[in-house]
Structure 1
C-alpha cells in the first residue's frame, strides 16, 4: 500500500517538473516597445545601414548564386511570431515580402516591432519551404483553420537569416 502511494507521489512530482520544464523551453516574446535605435541580436552598424540593398537586387543576385552572405536590407515588419518572436515577415519599398528567421535562434524580437521599419543584417537565400513548415508558421501566426488547410503546395521564397535587426526611422 505504501509502495503504491509513494509511486503515485513520485509520478506527480515528475509530471510537475516536466510541465514546468516545458514552460521554460517556450518563452514569450521579449518585452519592449521597439523604439528607433533598439536592436536585437548583433547591432547593425551605421556603415552597413548606408549600404542597404533592395530586394529587387537580392532577387537578381540570387539568380546566379544560392546564397548571399553579409547583406543588409531595409523594410517594414508586417508580422511577428506571437508565440516567441522567433520570426518576422518584412515588406520592402517595392512591395516585396520575405520571411526572416533569427540566426541559431540566438535572439527574439518583441511583438511591438510589427509596423516598424527595420534594417536586417545577415544572409539570404532562395529556398523552397515545405507545406508542413508553411502550415507551422501559419499556426504560429494564428491563421484560421481554413487558411491553414488552404496551404497545399510548397513555396519558393526568399529566406533571410538575421544576425541583427535594428529599428530605424
Structure 2
C-alpha cells in the first residue's frame, strides 16, 4: 500500500513538473543612451559608414528595381517601437516614411535612438504594406485611436531589413 501511494505521489510531482510553464515575458527595448559609436546587430565598419547613401538616393534607385541588397544608408530616426525596439522609422527629405525592421529579430534598439543620426546596413525593397500591418505598427508606436482608425488603405513604401545599425554624428 505504501509503495502504491509513493508511486502516485511521484507520478503527480512528475506530471506537475512536466506540464508547468514558465511565465514568458515579452522583451522590452534595451536600455541605453544610443551614443555616437554604439551599434546594434552587426557592427558597421568605418569604410561602410563613409560610403553610406541618403534615403533619397535609395528611393531614387528603387524606382527602377524592386529590391537592393547590401545597401548602406544614413538618416535620422524619427520613431522607435515602444514595445520592444523591433523597428524604427527614418526621416526623409521628401516627407515619406522609411520603415526599418531588424533582420530575423536578431537585435533590438533602445527608444533613446529616436532623434539620432544612424547608418543602416541591410536590404531594401519597395513593398505594399497591408492596412492590418500598418495598424499594428501604429499601435506599437503608441498612436492614438483616431490615428489608428484613420488608416484605411494599404501603403506602398520602402522597407529596409537591417543587419546592423550604428549611431553616427
Question: Is the counterpart of residue 168 in structure 1 residue 162 in structure 2?
Answer: no
Q: What residue ranges of structure 2 are gaps of 5+ in the alignment? A: 1-11
Alpha-carbon separation, structure 2, partners of 1:92 and 1:149: 25
**What is the match of residue 106 of structure 1?**
106
How far apart are residue 96 of structure 1 and its match?
Answer: 4.3
Q: Determine the structure 2 residue equivalent to 1:56.
A: 56
- Specify the SS of the correspondent of 1:161: strand
TM-score (norm 2): 0.85
TM-score, normalising length: structure 1? 0.85
Preserved contact between residue 75 and residue 93 of structure 1 (Cα < 8 Å) = no
Q: Distance in 2 between matches of 1:85 and 1:32?
A: 12
Contact 1:76 1:91 survives alignment (8 Å): yes
How many residue pairs get aligned? The number is: 157
Using the TM superposition, give the Cα deviation of residue 55 of structure 1 relative to its aligned residue in structure 2, in angstroms. Answer: 2.1
Moved more, 125-134 or 94-103: 94-103
Kindly tell me: are residues 45 and 92 of structure 1, through their superposed partners in 2, closer, same or farther at Cα, counting changes over 3 Å? farther
Q: How far apart are residue 29 of structure 1 and its match? A: 0.6
The equivalent of 2:38 in structure 1 is 38
Q: Which structure has the larger Rg?
A: 2
Kindly indicate whether the alpha-carbon contact (under 8 Å) linking 1:39 and 1:167 is maintained by their aligned counterparts in 2. Answer: yes
Match of 1:70 in 2: 70
The question of 1:136 aligning with 2:147 is answered no
SS in 1 for 2:53: coil
Cα distance in 2 for partners of 1:39, 1:107 equals: 10
The alignment's C-alpha RMSD in Å is: 2.1
